[in-house]
């Protein structure tokens, strides 16, 4: 069995990684018909609810903090496609005026990391620009931990993310790992592949290597 992609809506970051656009569904359908496949990695989130282990899988990224807040606010406003664009812009502006940071504790690469962060992104792929070096076929997750900047520092970070230079941002700490545990995030919101996500903590995130056949463009 193989998975194909037909992008829809906005912020189709994982589809864009493979050169697919929501404005060209015919090409996406032609790719599925052609059936060219590649095995890719899948991210896995494991957590416990009522003494039962739950798992959620992702292709692109898990986000905690600022970017998850934007997704959460925007998804409450979804109507027509144009309204969704306006909702993302409005949500982003609201958050710019009221930036928060969160006490995050995680175990990664045999070390304990405790930081007050504005944003944490765990990417199997580009992660909406926050893990620009991540690829879904090298057996690793890229992790970007970004501390809270002052206002103009935030604008610099947004510009560097747009230019895919976020790795050089002075308030960003990068990691690469196959397995990590997020112990706590304060009251930060979480999102998974662009949708709100409400896990319990500790939250284990690991990579499952080459477990999915993805239909890709020629």
> Could you tell me the pTM of the whole model?
0.84
CA separation for the pair 119, 133 (Å, rounded): 17
146-183 CB burial, b ≥16 within 10 A, e <16: bbbbeeeebeebeebbeeeebeebebbeebebeebbbe
Q: pLDDT tens, 169-178? A: 778 899 999 9
Residue-range definition of the domain harbouring residue 122: 13-215
Q: Would residue 141 count as lying in a domain?
A: yes
Q: For the domain that residue 65 is a member of, what is the CATH number?
A: 2.60.200.40
Q: Is the pLDDT of residue 5 over 80?
A: yes
Q: Would residue 106 count as lying in a domain?
A: yes
Both tokens of 21, joined, read 């656009």
Q: Is the pLDDT of residue 77 over 60?
A: no
Q: Would residue 105 count as lying in a domain?
A: yes
> Which is higher by pLDDT, 101 or 111?
111
pLDDT average, residue stretch 203-208: 98
Q: pLDDT tens, 129-152? A: 889 899 999 999 999 998 876 655
Q: Would residue 90 count as lying in a domain?
A: yes
pLDDT average, residue stretch 11-30: 88
Total of domains in the chain: 1
Q: Would residue 2 count as lying in a domain?
A: no
């Amino acid at each position: 069995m193989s998975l194909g992609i037909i992008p829809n809506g906005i912020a189709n970051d994982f589809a864009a990684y493979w050169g697919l656009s929501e404005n060209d569904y015919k090409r996406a359908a032609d790719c599925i018909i052609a059936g060219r496949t590649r095995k890719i990695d899948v991210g896995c989130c494991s957590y416990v609810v009522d003494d039962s282990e739950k798992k959620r899988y992702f292709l692109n990224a898990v986000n905690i903090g600022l970017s998850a807040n934007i997704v959460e606010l925007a998804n409450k406003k979804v109507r027509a496609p144009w309204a969704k664009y306006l909702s993302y812009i409005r949500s982003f502006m609201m958050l710019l005026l009221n930036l928060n940071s969160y006490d995050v504790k995680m175990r990664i690469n045999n070390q304990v990391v405790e930081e007050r962060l504005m944003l944490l992104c765990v990417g199997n792929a580009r992660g909406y620009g926050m893990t620009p070096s991540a690829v879904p076929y090298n057996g690793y997750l890229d992790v970007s931990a970004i501390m809270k900047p002052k206002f103009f520092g935030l604008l610099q970070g947004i510009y560097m993310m747009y230019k895919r230079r976020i790795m050089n941002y002075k308030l960003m700490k990068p990691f690469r790992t196959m397995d990590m545990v997020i112990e706590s995030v304060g009251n930060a919101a979480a999102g998974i592949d662009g949708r709100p996500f409400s896990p319990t903590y500790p939250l284990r995130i690991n990579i499952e290597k080459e477990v999915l056949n993805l239909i890709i463009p020629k």
